Structure 1
């Protein structure tokens, strides 16, 4: 899975802008979904691995 960050995100937002400088509604929804997915991923990635799982993984070596 590829996360969009930095200048790529800025470029995407600029392309989505209409002549009056506002984002298209569907682009705004996509950004909200992307932001929510990134937040969930960051929460999951930051969780501690349970000791039981580490024990199981060590037995696979």
Structure 2
């Protein structure tokens, strides 16, 4: 049993390929990837801030009751 979305997705995948077999979506993605180290630094900083946050006592209490 196949769904209409699955059949439509197959057509889209085939249509996205160029005649030489290269995928147009991959070339678009590589064009969008600019050298922007600021984004990477911002993501790392946000992650580090999240790691450094204290766990609220209420949550620790709840986790203690569960385990």
Q: Per the shorter chain, which TM-score range?
A: 0.5 to 0.7
Structure 1 ranges of 4+ moved more than 6 A: none
What CA RMSD, in Å, does the superposition of the two structures yield over aligned residues? Answer: 1.6
Instruction: Give the alignment's TM-score, normalised by structure 1.
Output: 0.52
Instruction: Give the alignment's TM-score, normalised by structure 2.
Output: 0.48
The runs of 5 or more residues in structure 1 that have no matched partner are: 1-25
Q: Give yes or no for the alignment of 1:44 onto 2:45.
A: no
The count of residues paired between Structure 1 and Structure 2 equals: 35
**Structure having greater relative contact order (Cα 8 Å, sep ≥ 6):** 1
